[in-house]
Amino acid sequence: MRKLVIASLVTLLLAAPAFAQSGSSYDWRTGNQYYWNRNFDGSTSVRGSNFGTGSMWNQTIMPNGDQRGTDSRGNYWQYNNSTGNYWNSDGTMCWGKGQFRQCN
């Protein structure tokens, strides 16, 4: 579910007008609050939090779709958009895209 929310947020951010430099969004279904800011290099920084659970996370989305950040447990992660490879410091690794995607 969180990946779906993040994917939706990424789509929203990429579709937003160029003049929208920062903003926020609240997802009432999950209780997640998102704050984003477009950076001068074309990347977008996103900070997320959930007041109910006390969790917080952040990510940076590069113009080419690559992403990196810290999850709610403090683990560093990164995603390569061209290959679909994902790595998390908790040991999770995924590779491939779509129906061929595999994770350990």
Are residues 25 and 34 in contact, defined by beta-carbon separation less than 8 angstroms?
yes
pLDDT over threshold 70, residue 6 = no
Alpha-helical (H) ranges within the chain are 2-15
pTM of the model: 0.75
pLDDT over threshold 60, residue 10 = no
Three-state DSSP state, 55: strand
Tokens for 3, please give them: 């990946």
pLDDT over threshold 70, residue 1 = no
Length of the chain: 104
pLDDT at residue number 14 = 56
Are residues 36 and 48 in contact, defined by beta-carbon separation less than 8 angstroms?
no
pLDDT at residue number 9 = 56
